[in-house]
């Protein structure tokens, strides 16, 4: 069966990255059943021939108006679809959509009429925000990393930057590869407008990774591999902390002076 990815190696490479990350999420146990979502802005890889393709489904209302992404194209994991299935067949478990009607609706263009994630309004709101700020970030990842979610069941880690400081102090790579830390959002109903708005507010504070209490993580970055890497290093730090606690002691962590040295030496954001 012909695919819109045929003879479009640059676009296919981006979808292949999504499939690769979907496999990692499943292998790590971060994507139970149909848990988690991925959307990437692929507009720069859409050619003129693609732009003339008719919709195979829609238009359907987004539920809000997002003018900054009007005319943009996205690859989205399908609603109810499993990451483990997406990893082997991304165009059967996801779809290419374009945003139309001034940012109020979307159409499915290829390859099959797979409805996008139920969290599409929240994801597209994040993409709209990223474009409005001039950000180079084009990938949004939501997943359920076990140890990070476990931390949110302890009230002290929900304080502003409490978890960030602890996670940074567990291993130098955490601050190096997630230098803006972890923003915390208190529990809100999944897929709700309140959760989407709280996430946007937290991103606006300067975070690239947002923790949803007792739920999961949302990360933004240049591409989906980079977004995955941020969550991966943060969760590794959480694993180190929990391993120390399981061994019967409170992990010492690096000192403030050692963390400042990392910031200065590697020119990290403050």
Does residue 117 lie in a domain region? yes
Q: Please check whether residue 203 is in contact with residue 133, taking contact to mean a CB–CB distance below 8 angstroms.
A: no
- What's the pLDDT at 248? 97
What is the pLDDT averaged over residues 128-156? 97
- What's the pLDDT at 38? 97
Does residue 23 lie in a domain region? yes
| Residues in CB range of 225: below 8 A, 6 or more apart | 17, 20, 21
- What's the pLDDT at 56? 95
- pLDDT bracket for residue 266 (50, 70, 90): confident
The radius of gyration computed from the CA coordinates of the chain, to the nearest angstrom, equals 19
- What's the pLDDT at 193? 83
User: Which token pair is 224?
Assistant: 């989906």
Does residue 2 lie in a domain region? no
User: Which token pair is 177?
Assistant: 């590869």
Does residue 239 lie in a domain region? yes
- What's the pLDDT at 8? 96
Does residue 181 lie in a domain region? yes
Q: What CATH number does the domain containing 97 carry? A: 3.40.225.10
The tens digit of pLDDT for each residue in 57-94 reads 989 999 899 999 999 999 999 999 999 999 999 999 99
Q: Catalytic: which of 119, 197, 250, 252?
A: 119
Domain total of the chain: 1
User: Which token pair is 6?
Assistant: 């045929």
User: Which token pair is 120?
Assistant: 């599409």
- pLDDT bracket for residue 270 (50, 70, 90): low
Does residue 1 lie in a domain region? no
The residue segments making up the domain with residue 240 are: 9-266
CA-based end-to-end distance of the chain: 51
User: Does the pLDDT at position 267 exceed 90?
Assistant: no
SS3 string, the chain, reads CCCCCCCCHHHHHHHHHHHHHHHHHHHCCCCCCCCCEEEEECHHHCCHHHHCCCCCEEEEECCCCCHHHCCCEEEEEECCCCHHHHCCCCCCCEEEEEEEHHHCEEEEEECCCCCECCCHHHHHHHHHHHHHCCCCCCEEEEECCHHHHHHCCCHHHHCCCHHHHHHHHHCHHHHHHCCCCEEEECCCCCCCHHHHHHHHHHHHCCCCEEEECCCEEEEEECCHHHHHHHHHHHHHHHHHHHHHHHCCCCCCCCCHHHHHHHHHHHCCCC
Does residue 155 lie in a domain region? yes
The tens digit of pLDDT for each residue in 215-247 reads 999 999 999 999 999 999 999 999 999 999 999
Q: How many CB atoms lie within 10 A of CB 55?
A: 16
Does residue 233 lie in a domain region? yes
Average pLDDT, whole number, for the chain? 95
**Is the four-CA dihedral 162, 198, 238, 232 of positive or negative sign?**
negative
Is 119 marked active-site? Answer: yes
């Amino acid at each position: 069966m012909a695919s819109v990815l045929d003879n479009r190696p640059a676009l296919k490479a981006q979808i292949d990255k999504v499939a690769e990350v979907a496999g990692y999420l499943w292998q790590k146990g971060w994507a139970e059943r149909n848990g988690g979502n991925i959307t990437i802005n692929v507009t720069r890889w859409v050619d003129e021939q693609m732009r003339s393709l008719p919709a195979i489904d829609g238009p359907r209302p987004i539920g809000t108006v997002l003018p900054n992404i009007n005319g943009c194209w996205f690859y989205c994991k399908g609603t109810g679809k499993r990451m483990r299935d997406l990893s082997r067949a991304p165009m059967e478990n996801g779809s290419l959509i374009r945003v139309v009607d001034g940012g109020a609706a979307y159409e499915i263009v290829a390859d099959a009429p797979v409805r996008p994630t139920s969290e599409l309004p929240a994801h597209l709101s994040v993409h709209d925000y990223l474009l409005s700020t001039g950000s180079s970030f084009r990938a949004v990842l939501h997943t359920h990393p076990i140890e990070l979610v476990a931390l949110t069941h302890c009230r002290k880690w929900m304080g502003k930057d409490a978890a960030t400081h602890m996670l940074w102090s567990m291993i130098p790579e955490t601050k190096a590869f997630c230098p803006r830390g972890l923003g915390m959002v208190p529990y809100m109903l999944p897929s709700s407008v309140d959760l989407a708005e709280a996430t946007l507010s937290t991103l606006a504070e300067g975070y690239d990774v947002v923790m949803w209490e007792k739920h999961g993580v949302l990360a933004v970055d240049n591409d989906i591999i980079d977004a995955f890497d941020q969550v991966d290093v943060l969760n590794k730090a959480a694993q180190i902390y929990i391993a120390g606690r399981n061994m019967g002691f409170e992990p010492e962590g690096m000192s403030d002076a050692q963390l400042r040295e990392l910031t200065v030496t590697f020119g990290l954001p403050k």
